[in-house]
Amino acid sequence: MSAHQIPAVRMRRILALVPWIAEHPGTQLADLAQRFGVTEKELERDLELLWLCGLPPYTPDRLIDMRIDDGRVSIGFAEYFARPVRFTPGEGLSLLTAGRALLAVPGSERDGALASALAKLEGALGAPDQGVAVDIGGPPFLASLRDAAAEHQRLEIDYYSHGRNELTTRRIDPHTVFCAFGHWYVDAWCHRASDERLFRVDRVRAVRATTETFDARAAGYDDIPSAVYHPAESDPRVTLLLPPEAGWLVETHPYEEVDEQADGSLRVVIVVSEVAWLERLLLRIGPGATVLDPPELRDTARGAAERVLARYSSDPG
């Protein structure tokens, strides 16, 4: 069973899908799914939401028209989309910022219709003349990793693992570099783990080039990642009982199951790769969270809280 996708990730993908399909009408559903790193069923569920997008009174002539004919996808826009839109400077800058973030969604084209529209908006706002630059930011070594991914260059990196609190040296074959939740990630084959791994770029401490290259297609890199965490079958599944006010967890973290109880509490099954990560999550939620299963993790929050308290009590400051 695969983890449910975080709603915010899905929404950004849907927003990126619209301009791409508009620029490439008639694209095969299978090709579109591969480009955006999802299954065809997931893509169909995404596209079905477009039928609900429009303006009041939400009559057919005010909604987006999405069609799948013989496996080919196309989008039709209501007449109001062709009307000129007037923005205040603040609205225009907000739209420009959001659009730049969408260009970082895996599958988007940096030189496609969305990028062209944003360039026109930037010109209308006078951003280049006023010295205004809109960028979602980038950590050190981002450019090196993106260049290596584009040129299929093998790298050696020093990487800090937050969950294990350790610095390791790894040889990686970087496949894709993408932005999600305000952070940059590199999807790569890790020779140390002999498996595919996601690395947060801001935790890369050093990058060293090698003289080696790799064949991305031969390595099986055909999909763009749609999430920042891909659960392994061996990763433990943890069942939590959460108070209603902790419902933000299912909006911000992948989960496999969620059931709302009669009192509004949530029974959630999540995948945990590191106990340290679970400890931080439970401490953030507070005493209202209960670990139901597995039994050996039921005292995780208490143990973490006791260690934190012990550290404070032993601090002479």
Quick count: other Cβ atoms within 10 Å of Cβ 163? 13
Q: Name which residue leads in pLDDT, 132 or 83.
A: 83
pLDDT at 77 over 60: yes
Of 61-70, 177-186, 199-208, the one with minimum mean pLDDT is 177-186
Tell me if 14 sits within 8 A of 50, measured CB to CB: yes
Give residue 159's pLDDT. 94
- CATH no. for 237-314: 3.30.70
Domain definitions of the chain by residue range = 7-130, 142-213, 237-314
Question: Average pLDDT for residues 235-254, to the nearest whole number?
Answer: 85
Give residue 2's pLDDT. 43
Question: Average pLDDT for residues 7-24, to the nearest whole number?
Answer: 78
pLDDT at 7 over 80: no
Residues of the chain with pLDDT > 90, as a percent, come to 16
For the 142-213 domain, the top CATH level (class) is mainly beta
Residue 222's pLDDT band, with cuts at 50, 70 and 90, is very low
The H or E element spanning position 209 is: strand 204-213
DSSP-based three-state secondary structure for 193: coil
The alpha-helical segments, DSSP class H, found in the chain are 7-23, 29-35, 40-48, 89-102, 113-125, 127-130, 142-151, 249-252, 275-285, 300-314
Give residue 63's pLDDT. 76
Question: Average pLDDT for residues 134-156, to the nearest whole number?
Answer: 83
Residue 226's pLDDT band, with cuts at 50, 70 and 90, is very low
What letter would DSSP give residue 63?
A: B
* β-strand partners of 209: 155
pTM above 0.85, yes or no: no
List the Cα angle 176/179/184 in 5-degree steps: 80
Nearest to 7 by CA among 247, 261, 284, 199: 247
How far CA 226 is from CA of 56, 66, 130, in Å, comes to 32, 22, 36
Q: Name which residue leads in pLDDT, 101 or 71.
A: 71
Residues 6+ apart with CB under 8 A from 132: 93, 125, 126
Average pLDDT, the chain: 79
pLDDT (tens digit per residue) in 251-277:
777 788 888 888 889 999 988 877 888
